[in-house]
């Protein structure tokens, strides 16, 4: 089942489906209020059908109900959008618009009486939304009920519709991957827009080994292309899809939609991202948004960027929603938590992200970074070549909450090393600012008794200084080495909270953190001195994950800290000699980084074309 799937050019339909009006989600854990809000009376919300009882009002001014008009006006060539609905019963349907400040206005309204499967169409111009605003429809009933079905937002089609391939990268998450595949297969309308579904399996526990794989494969039919390959990380898995697509016919103008294996998939994202990509004035990366899987009403971020000078990813673009309850309301304004103001992203995470083949042809393939910052680097490289990234509201999937993942993990190595690589490629790479930032991080790791995390950081710097050669194997050796290194540090190991090694539960009081210090530098310096002199405030104690900041943990001789995942605890024990050794090693490495930064920048920039070439990836795939 490996190999290519032919992408075919599609003739233009009469109308291009931009998004569907849905009234409930793909799973019972998802609130219907993300799709349709009952503001008065009673209504029954089904996936594709809305029954509004008498004297009721339902609004689609919701996360999945809104048509992101401001993004369509800014990036696309569609002057208007048409809403089509099939109505049975009596009531009024109106198209409502907002502006950048969230103020609303009614565009058009249609009233029906005694309708029987009557198709009603309304048109709205996409002409007053440059800075912000959206469109949606409201339904109001009087004495009788109104049933709404087959709600569709459509725009004028392009001459040819771009073929689309989905790429799912997976590594030993068999059930998650099968669930994502099944979700895509379950909805025929978005699946009909897809020519190929590449499942790139890099795990030792293959997806195809399960009985359920045959069932899901049958549902996807000849669209499925299942590929086994060695583990080259997310970069190697997703890039394999690009590699395959760029080899087939009609790949000059194609969409490649990345999809993480462990998301709760909303198949509608296929409709919305591909339609947007079909109508942009110039090719852009179209990013889907991430909602929290453990808290499904919450949006991760409306748009983000990376500070390449301080190696800080995930910075919130000014004006963007962040960790927002999408079914809630702003306390100050009383308005729904929706993204009215248009915000421009620096990059988009690859939990779900569409990359046009024209961009791949122009800028090359992703860097073989293995894991972390591959999406950031590619977004900034695209921007440097004139290709923007659009994080599209209303196009979302649910992914595990980031703040429930502990920072002290093996992946931190790739986060740091690849941040250095990306900064060297796409910023001024000021050694003073970068070394100051990394020195501050190292100091907090050491006073917080995270010696394994400090060693992880130093390994990242050391490997970065080896130059582009460290990327030649796609990260395979580095992944093995960092796990081995971290295993030497006891506090990197997670224990059950009921079985803390060497400590009785009765000797483990829970000690809460004081308020955060107003001035970090003097407090950090004081903590360093006290630890060198062997002073402490607490001998032993338990610390909640939310209280695990360095200024609190550094007061202990032994701190039992709850892991961010809430699945166990880490035992951090003070080790003065180890802290001194790691501190000296870090000082030496940071001095070397400071001195060699210009040399490293030149080396990585000179190697960029070769590392991102099709030939390099062919070598890594052993094809």
* Phi, psi (deg, nearest 5) at residue 85: -140, 150
Catalytic residue among 340, 375, 401, 408: 375
The number of beta carbons lying within 10 Å of the beta carbon of residue 559 is 26
Distance from the Cα of residue 266 to its chain's centroid? 14
Count the neighbouring beta carbons within 10 Å of the beta carbon of residue 513.
15
- Give the residue among 86, 110, 99, 85 at the shortest CA–CA distance from 135: 99
Evaluate whether 105 touches 432 at the Cβ level (below 8 Å): no
Query: Which residue, chain included where needed, has tokens 């009785």?
Result: 504
- List the Cα angle 435/440/443 in 5-degree steps: 120
Dig out the tokens for 342 from the structure: 């248009």
Q: State the residue for tokens 């939304």.
A: 129
Structure tokens of 525? 């310096």
Q: How far is CA 483 from the centre of its chain?
A: 25
d(CA 137, CA 21): 9
CA distance 201 to 205: 9
Please report, for residues 358, 490, 512, the alpha-carbon distance to residue 509 in angstroms, rounded to integers and kept in the order given.
59, 21, 10
263: nearest Cα among 198, 393, 194, 353: 353
**Three-state secondary structure along 133-193?**
CCEEEEEECCCCCEEEEEEEEEECCCCEECCEEEEEEECCCHHHHHHHHHHHHHCHHHHCC
Max alpha carbon distance in the chain (Å)?
85
Q: Is residue 375 flagged as an active site residue?
A: yes
CA-CA-CA-CA torsion for 605, 229, 347, 420, nearest 10 degrees? -40
Q: Please list the alpha-helical segments (H only) found in 221-372.
A: 233-245, 268-279, 357-363
* CB contact set of 106 (below 8 Å; sequence gap of 6+): 94, 95, 96, 97
Task: Specify the long-range contacts of residues 1-4, CB closer than 8 Å, at least 24 apart.
Answer: 1/208, 1/217, 1/224, 1/225, 1/226, 2/225, 2/226, 2/227, 2/228, 3/225, 3/227, 3/244, 4/225, 4/244, 4/247, 4/248
Residue given tokens 């943990």 in the structure block: 553
**Torsion over CA: 296, 301, 302, 303 (sign):** negative
DSSP strands (E only) in 512-551? 538-543
Q: How far apart are CA 115 and CA 94, in angstroms?
A: 16
> Crossing angle, helix 451-464 and helix 431-447, to 10 degrees?
160
**C-alpha closest to that of 502 among 451, 557, 545, 551:** 557
Alpha-carbon gap, residue 502 to 563, rounded angstroms: 18
Q: Is 404 helix (H, G, I), strand (E, B) or coil?
A: helix
Long-range contacts of 211-217 (CB under 8 A, 24+ apart): 212/178, 213/178, 216/178, 216/181, 216/182, 216/185, 217/1
Q: Active-site residue numbers?
A: 375
């Amino acid at each position: 089942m490996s190999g290519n799937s032919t992408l075919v050019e599609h003739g233009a339909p009469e109308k291009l489906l931009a998004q569907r009006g849905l009234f409930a989600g793909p799973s019972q854990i998802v609130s219907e209020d993300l799709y349709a809000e009952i503001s008065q009376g009673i209504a029954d919300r089904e996936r594709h059908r809305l029954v509004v009882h008498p004297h009721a009002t339902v609004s689609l001014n919701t996360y999945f109900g809104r048509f992101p008009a401001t993004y369509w006006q800014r990036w696309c060539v569609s002057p208007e959008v048409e809403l089509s609905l099939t109505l049975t019963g009596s009531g009024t349907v109106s198209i409502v618009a907002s502006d950048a400040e969230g103020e609303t206005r009614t565009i058009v309204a249609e009233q029906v009486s005694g309708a029987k499967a009557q198709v009603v169409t309304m048109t709205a111009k996409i002409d007053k939304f440059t800075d912000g605003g959206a469109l949606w429809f409201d339904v109001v009933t009087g004495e009788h009920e109104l049933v709404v079905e087959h709600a569709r937002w459509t725009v004028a089609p392009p001459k040819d519709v771009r073929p689309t391939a989905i790429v799912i990268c997976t590594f030993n998450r068999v059930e998650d991957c099968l669930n994502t595949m099944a979700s895509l297969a379950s909805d025929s309308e978005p699946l009909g827009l897809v020519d190929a579904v590449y499942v790139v399996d890099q795990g030792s526990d293959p997806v195809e080994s399960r009985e359920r794989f045959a069932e899901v494969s049958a549902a996807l039919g000849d669209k499925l292309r299942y590929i086994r390959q060695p583990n080259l990380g997310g970069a190697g898995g997703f890039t394999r899809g690009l590699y395959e697509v760029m080899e087939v016919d009609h790949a000059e103008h194609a969409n490649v939609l990345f999809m993480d294996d462990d998301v709760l998939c909303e198949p509608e994202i296929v409709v919305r991202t591909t339609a947007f990509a079909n109508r942009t004035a110039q090719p852009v990366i179209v990013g889907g948004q991430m909602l929290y899987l453990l808290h499904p009403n919450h949006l991760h971020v409306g748009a983000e960027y990376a500070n390449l000078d301080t190696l800080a990813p995930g910075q919130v673009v000014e004006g963007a929603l962040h960790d927002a309850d999408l079914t809630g309301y702003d306390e100050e304004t009383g308005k729904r938590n929706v993204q009215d103001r248009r915000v421009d992203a620096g990059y988009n995470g690859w939990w779900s992200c569409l990359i046009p083949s024209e961009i791949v042809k122009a800028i090359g393939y992703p860097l073989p970074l293995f894991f972390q910052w591959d999406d950031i680097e590619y977004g900034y490289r695209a921007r440097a070549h004139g290709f923007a990234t659009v994080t599209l509201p209303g196009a979302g999937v649910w992914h595990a909450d980031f703040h429930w993942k502990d920072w002290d993990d093996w992946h931190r190595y790739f986060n740091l090393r690849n941040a250095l690589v990306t900064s060297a490629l796409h910023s001024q790479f000021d050694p003073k600012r970068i070394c100051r930032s990394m020195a501050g991080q190292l100091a907090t790791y050491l006073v917080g008794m995270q010696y394994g995390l400090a060693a992880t950081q130093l390994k990242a710097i050391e490997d970065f200084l080896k130059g582009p050669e460290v990327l030649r194997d796609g990260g395979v050796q580095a992944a093995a080495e960092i796990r081995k290194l971290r295993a030497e540090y006891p506090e990197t190991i997670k224990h059950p909270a009921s079985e803390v090694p060497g400590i009785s539960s009765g000797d483990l009081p829970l000690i809460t953190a004081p308020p955060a210090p107003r001035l970090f530098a003097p407090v950090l310096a004081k903590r360093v001195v006290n630890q060198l002199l062997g002073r402490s405030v607490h001998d032993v104690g338990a610390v909640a994950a939310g209280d695990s900041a360095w200024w609190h943990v550094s007061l202990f001789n032994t701190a039992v800290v709850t892991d961010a995942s809430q699945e166990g605890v880490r035992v951090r024990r003070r080790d003065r000699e180890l802290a001194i050794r790691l501190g000296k090693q870090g000082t030496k490495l940071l001095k070397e980084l400071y001195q060699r930064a210009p040399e490293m920048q030149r080396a990585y920039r000179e190697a960029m074309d070769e590392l991102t070439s099709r030939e390099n990836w062919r070598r890594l795939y052993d094809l």
